[in-house]
């Protein structure tokens, strides 16, 4: 029997149920960048998939924007403890991006303009879990938030969502990206509170 009735404490509101451990809700949209915001003109922008040796796929802005896109509503969780619920984006699913890519490599390293990298298992980019997003809240993605386009992987802490994405390298053996090599967790599941490399 429940000693304390549920709705009484007021702590299990629908919003709180969506909040991973150790996170708090915010309604603004903080900017977290490890360096200056790179400005890439759209006529020089490109996005490539490579295997470390060869470029397997290449899109310029026009061919990228010709890919089918979708509107998605997702919750964001930053390792600095803010979470933002119900954010609306438009982007191209990584399932679409990877459709014609044949690989045996189980890991991916996302690469950004400005040299930021972050690693994740290739499977975490598949199955409607990741997008290359170019619009936020109905507007073109602002440069400070990663415009013209950023990776969006909402089921992992937000440092995995590389801003100013320029490509993804498929790698046979996992290798740490920027924050992962500075002591952040290799995988970064907010629901398991995988913040730092020592966390389970
Ligand atoms: N290229 C690049 N991507 C990045 C970062 C960065 O410094 N450079 N910071 C990461 C971190 S730590 C977070 S929390 C989010 C922040 O995204 P926002 O600035 O849009 O809130 O971007 C991630 N992607
Ligand atoms: Mo972050």
Q: What are phi and psi of 143, to 5 degrees?
A: -55, -40
Quick check: 7 pLDDT over 60? Answer: no
3-state per-residue secondary structure call for 59-127: EEHHHHHCCCCEEEEEEEECCCCEEEEEEEEEEEEHHHHCCCCCCCCCEEEEEECCCCEEEEEHHHHCC
Ligand 1 pocket, residues with Cβ under 6 angstroms: 29-34, 78, 112, 114, 116, 145-146, 158-159, 161-164
**Residue 4 confidence (pLDDT):** 44
Q: Choose the residue to mutate in 32, 81, 147 for probing ligand 1, maximizing ligand atoms within 8 Å of C-beta.
A: 32
Q: Which residue's C-alpha comes closest to atom 5 of ligand 1? A: 33
Question: Are residues 107 and 173 in contact, defined by beta-carbon separation less than 8 angstroms?
Answer: yes
**Residue 12 confidence (pLDDT):** 65
**Residue 15 confidence (pLDDT):** 79
Q: Which residue's C-alpha comes closest to atom 24 of ligand 1? A: 162
Q: First vs last Cα of the chain: how many Å apart?
A: 32
Q: Which atom of ligand 1 is nearest to the CA of 157?
A: 14
Q: To the nearest whole number, what is the mean pLDDT of the chain? A: 94
Q: What are phi and psi of 73, to 5 degrees?
A: -120, 120
pTM > 0.75: yes
Quick check: 53 pLDDT over 90? Answer: yes
| Triad 119, 191, 79: Cα angle to 5° | 55
Kindly state the percentage of the chain with pLDDT values over 90: 90
Question: Are residues 132 and 64 in contact, defined by beta-carbon separation less than 8 angstroms?
Answer: yes
pLDDT band at 5 (very low <50, low <70, confident <90, very high): very low
3-state SS of the chain: helix, strand, coil percent to 5?
15, 30, 50
Domains defined for the chain, CATH in brackets: 41-192 (3.90.420.10)
Quick check: 11 pLDDT over 80? Answer: no
Question: Are residues 70 and 94 in contact, defined by beta-carbon separation less than 8 angstroms?
Answer: no
Q: Which atom of ligand 1 is nearest to the CA of 33?
A: 7
Quick check: 9 pLDDT over 80? Answer: no
Cα→Cα distances 54→10, 45, 100, Å: 55, 19, 15
Per-residue pLDDT reduced to its tens digit, 92-133: 999 999 999 999 999 999 999 999 999 999 999 999 999 999
Question: Are residues 32 and 78 in contact, defined by beta-carbon separation less than 8 angstroms?
Answer: yes
Kindly state the percentage of the chain with pLDDT values over 70: 94
Q: Which atom of ligand 1 is nearest to the CA of 146?
A: 20
**Residue 56 confidence (pLDDT):** 98
Per-residue pLDDT reduced to its tens digit, 149-197: 999 999 999 999 999 999 999 999 999 999 999 999 999 999 999 999 9
């Amino acid at each position: 029997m429940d000693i304390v009735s549920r709705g009484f404490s007021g702590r299990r509101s629908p919003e709180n149920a969506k909040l991973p451990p150790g996170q708090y809700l915010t309604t603004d949209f903080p900017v977290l960048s490890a360096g200056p915001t790179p400005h890439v003109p759209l006529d020089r922008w490109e996005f490539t998939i490579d295997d470390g040796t060869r470029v397997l796929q290449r899109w310029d802005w026009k061919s990228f924007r010709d890919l089918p896109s979708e509107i998605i509503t997702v919750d964001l969780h930053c390792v600095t403890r803010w979470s933002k619920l119900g954010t609306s984006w438009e982007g191209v699913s990584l399932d679409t991006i990877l459709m014609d890519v044949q690989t045996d490599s189980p890991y991916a390293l996302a690469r950004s303009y400005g040299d930021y990298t972050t690693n994740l298992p290739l499977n975490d980019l598949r199955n409607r879990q990741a997008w290359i997003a170019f619009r936020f809240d109905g507007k073109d993605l602002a440069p400070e938030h990663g415009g013209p386009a950023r990776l969006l992987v909402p089921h992992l802490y937000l440092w995995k969502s590389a801003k100013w994405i320029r490509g993804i390298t498929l790698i046979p053996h996992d290798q740490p990206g920027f924050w992962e090599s500075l002591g952040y967790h290799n995988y970064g599941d907010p629901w398991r509170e995988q913040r730092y490399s020592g966390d389970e």
